[in-house]
Structure 1
Amino acid sequence: MLPVQQLGAGDHAFVSYGCDHAARDIVTTFAWMGLAQQEKVVIFAPPQLKEEEVWARIDVPGPLVADARRRGQLAVSSMRTLIHPQDRFTAARQWQRIEEETDQALDEGYRGLRTYIDMHWVPDLSADVDVMMHRETHADHLFADRPYTEICAYDTRWFAPDVLEAMHHAHPVSLLSHTGALHTESSPHGLRLVGEADVATREQFNAALRKTLAGKAQAGQVSVDMSRLVFLSAACAEDLVQLSCDASSPEHVRVLCRPQQAHLLRRVGAEHLSHLVLSEVSC
């Protein structure tokens, strides 16, 4: 599980959405991250959207998107266009074209290619869902040692639950459904946090910490992995320090965090707690 901001070259990601706002949130962030990293970005939008509607979703005031659009660094396309002149979808044809597009992006001087593929192309091309699923489960070669990143976005209002479940498990990476979300995941050793810990998710953040620290108190040591947080507020950092001092807390709390998070935690008192160990990692 990753936030969209942490996707990198070689990632093949699944995301689902049940409202158009969530889809807009992910595709906009994905595109902007690609531009910032000097990658070429192609958006395969829902076929029912007009091209200008797609541009309106990812554009914000300022010259960056307009310049990237003019240069061809950011483009809107369709699966029909990608597989042309074929009019019937085959995995082999799509794989061939993606490899060609990746090579072209490198030839043009970009660091790689990233694509956002809305899976509404399946009904648009009258493609067999089983053919689509075969493509998804046999596409590893597109990402092996290649600077290619892909999001496959599934509308939960159209795809059957069993298909969504199968595709969720088939992709090496699953994305949080929207930016600003916090995902908490318990493990035998402690807690893993993914996304954003801020004023909107502070209650969820604290509830997960309390449950983990209390449940692992008898174990003597617990691990809190914060390395997949893209934002940690000062208030949430203070909460972590305070909760680790409670009587029910384990004797040792090991926090896996990125350097910026470690700096913040030290600023709010972690450096004065001998039982709170900060282990810096890079992601």
Structure 2
Amino acid sequence: MTDTTTSRPVPVERLRKGDHACMAVPEGRTPWKVFTAYTRTSLARREKVLLVMNPDDMNDDDVVALLDGGGGLATEARATGQLSLKRTTEMYVPDGRFEPERTIGLYTAEVDRAYDEGWSGLSLTADMSWGPRAGLDHDRLLDYEASVAPLFADPLFTAICWYDQEEFGEEVIDGMHKVHPLRVMERLDALDVTETAEGTRIAGSAELGTRAEFVESLRSALELRHTPGPSRFVLDLRDLCFMEAHCAWQLIGLAGALPTGSEVTVRCGELLGMLLRQLGAQEVPQLVLEVTEESAL
């Protein structure tokens, strides 16, 4: 599949400070599994988490219980102030009117407050369905999303703006992909395969549920074209947040089966690089690992 938008699809675990991302939630699907992973990861990094929801969403206690999953982490974070829950009316239309500069000011104050309280940053999720409810047309909402870019010049701030696909429609969602640098994948157990000018980029999670899709994507990416001799391939796996051993074995095996002199450059993070080395990647001359520090991803 070739991505025609300007945003890069990433699993939520790959978001870093300073990232401005959107997420399109398909009809009938809830975003809370993704938000739970995002919240837990951010809390573990000592970032403050701010969830901005519509007034008719779940009440705060139910949200905290959902994020907890029985573990108590979210409850503790709420008690210490590391987890904060607000409503869209408070952040976007406190007096019934939307004023972009005021909203940007409110978020700037939230970032400053998180820093003053000793947290390492502020991680936000915001339900953007407040826009149509406040009478904003799609162009004005797009203009607002584009105008908040200066907020992310400060690497203390990370945000996911999420959109219901049924409510906003394909045209608006496509527009949001163009004004957000990143697009969060709406499922934790998913893959996104993109053909780029350099090679194949695979993001997401290579696990039991995506094993067949991942292996087929590898076969397609490493398919010999037009020549029976040595070939060069690039696999960008830097946004692959997990790979099971079976998938790693398949990658090593497919690379090793290529003609002598072929080269498969695998760009990946430290954990994946370590896994591939432990399984014998260095014994395959066709396989070249380019490892990036996790903090730089």
* TM-score (ref. length: structure 2): 0.89
Residue 233 in structure 1 maps to residue 244 in structure 2: yes
In the alignment, which of 6, 10, 14 is matched to residue 2 of structure 1? 10
Q: Is the 8 A contact 2:88 2:127 kept in 1?
A: no
Alignment of 1:56-67 (within 5 A): 56-67=65-76
Match among 11, 16, 20 for residue 24 of structure 2? 16
Match 1:32 to one of 33, 40, 43: 40
Q: Distance in 1 between matches of 2:188 and 2:165?
A: 18
Tell me: CA distance 1:249–1:134, structure 2 relative to 1, closer, same or farther (3 Å).
farther
Report the secondary structure of 2:71's partner residue.
Answer: coil
Asked whether the equivalents of residues 5 and 33 of structure 1 are also in contact (C-alpha less than 8 Å), the reply is yes
After superposition, where does 1:116-265 map in structure 2 within 5 Å?
A: 116-215=125-224, 218=227, 220-247=231-258, 251-265=262-276
Q: Check conservation: 1:183, 1:193, Cα contact below 8 A.
A: yes
Structure 1, gaps ≥5 residues long? none
Cα pair 1:80 1:125 within 8 Å, conserved: no
Return the letter of the residue paired with 1:9: K
Deviation at 1:267, TM superposition (A): 2.2
Change in 2 beyond 3 A, CA 1:247/1:11: closer
Structure 1 residues 206 and 241: CA distance shift in structure 2, 3 A: same
The SS at the match of 1:49 is coil
> Structure 1-normalised TM-score?
0.93
- Contact 2:93–2:134 (CA<8 Å) still a contact in 1? no
Q: Equivalent pairs: percent with the same residue? A: 31
1:45-102 C-alpha deviation (Å, 9 max, x unpaired): 2332131343343221123111111122111111211247532112111101000111
C-alpha change, 1:26 and 1:249, in structure 2 (3 Å) is farther
What CA distance in whole angstroms lies between the structure 2 residues aligned with 1:263 and 1:100? 41
Q: Secondary structure at the match of 1:61?
A: coil
Distance in 2, Cα, partners of 1:269 & 1:48: 53
2:4 aligned partner: none
1:47·1:124 contact (CA, 8 Å) conserved in 2? no
User: Is contact 2:48-2:122 (8 Å) kept?
Assistant: yes
- Give the stretch that moved more between structures: 150-159 or 18-27: 18-27
Residues 212/86 of structure 1: CA separation in 2 closer, same or farther (3 Å cut):
same
Per the alignment, do residues 19 and 74 of structure 1 end up closer, same or farther by CA in structure 2, a change over 3 Å counting? Answer: farther
Tell me which moved more, 42-51 or 120-129: 120-129
What per-residue deviation string (whole Å, max 9, x for no partner) do you get for residues 146-172 of structure 1? 411110000011012211110111101
Taking a change above 3 Å as real, the CA distance of residues 248 and 206 of structure 1, as seen in their structure-2 partners, is: farther
Q: 1:43 deviation in Å? A: 0.6
Tell me how many residue pairs correspond in the alignment: 283
- Between the aligned partners of 1:49 and 1:247, the Cα distance in structure 2 is 53
- In the alignment, does 2:58 pair up with 1:47? no
Q: Classify 1:247/1:133 alpha carbon distance in 2 versus 1 (closer, same or farther; 3 Å).
A: closer
1:247–1:48 distance in 2 versus 1, CA, 3 Å:
same
Runs of 4+ in 1 over 6 A off after TM superposition: none
Q: Distance in 2 between matches of 1:4 and 1:271?
A: 30
Change in 2 beyond 3 A, CA 1:76/1:69: same
Rounded Cα–Cα distance in structure 1 between residues aligned with 2:31 and 2:24: 8
After superposition, give the CA deviation of every residue in 1:194-218 in whole Å (9 maximum; x if it has no partner): 1101111111111111111114574
2:290 corresponds to: 279
Change (3 A) 1:84 1:188: closer
